[in-house]
């Protein structure tokens, strides 16, 4: 930032505050909700649902976007936002009384987290491409 301003750090900060909003992307308020299915082993996109308008619950978008039909017969893992879709494999929740999960359920949750982390990394890499992000 030194080449931009010859003043003090306070002045440099003021210049950055003035320029920063001009450099930022404009927020998109009407972004559609999309569903993307990624193969956990190859990390390739295998299905894309139809975009849904507005802010919607993941469960509803999964049913109405057509991706449920595209993935019929395949094992689908997702987070807890997909409750109400019996064909989706979700992690086990801790009991309401605060006790720990049995060891076998915790082992399945560990496997679930591992698979989902790989898929989330693939989604993050896709967002690096402007044509896929916007």
Residue 18 DSSP class: H
Determine the Cα–Cα distance for residues 25 and 28; give it in Å rounded to an integer.
9
Answer whether residue 68 is part of any domain.
yes
Within a domain: residue 17? no
Q: 38: which strand partners? A: 45
> Is residue 84, in this structure, part of any structural domain at all?
yes
Q: How confident is the model at residue 26 (pLDDT cuts 50, 70, 90)?
A: very low
**Structural domain contains residue 3:** no
Task: Categorize the per-residue pLDDT at 105 as very low, low, confident or very high, splitting at 50, 70 and 90.
Answer: very high
Q: How many domains does the chain have?
A: 1
Any domain includes 122 = yes
For 128, the domain range is 36-133
Residues 6 or more apart in contact with residue 9 via CB below 8 angstroms: none
Containing H/E element for 88? strand 88-89
Q: Which pTM was predicted?
A: 0.63
Residue 5 covered by a domain: no
Spell out the alpha helix ranges (H) of the chain: 9-23, 58-64, 67-70, 103-126, 130-133
């Amino acid at each position: 930032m030194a080449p931009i301003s010859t003043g003090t750090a306070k002045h440099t900060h003021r210049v950055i505050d003035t320029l920063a909003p001009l450099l930022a992307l404009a927020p998109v308020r009407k972004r559609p909700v999309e569903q993307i299915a990624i193969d956990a082993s190859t990390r390739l996109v295998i299905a894309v649902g139809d975009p849904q308008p507005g802010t919607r619950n993941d469960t509803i978008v999964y049913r109405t976007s057509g991706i449920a039909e595209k993935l019929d017969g395949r094992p689908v893992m997702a987070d807890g936002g997909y409750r109400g879709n019996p064909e989706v494999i979700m992690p086990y929740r801790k009991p309401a009384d605060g006790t720990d999960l049995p060891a076998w359920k915790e082992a399945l949750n560990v496997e679930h987290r591992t698979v989902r982390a790989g898929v989330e990394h693939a989604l993050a890499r896709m967002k690096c491409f402007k044509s896929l992000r916007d």
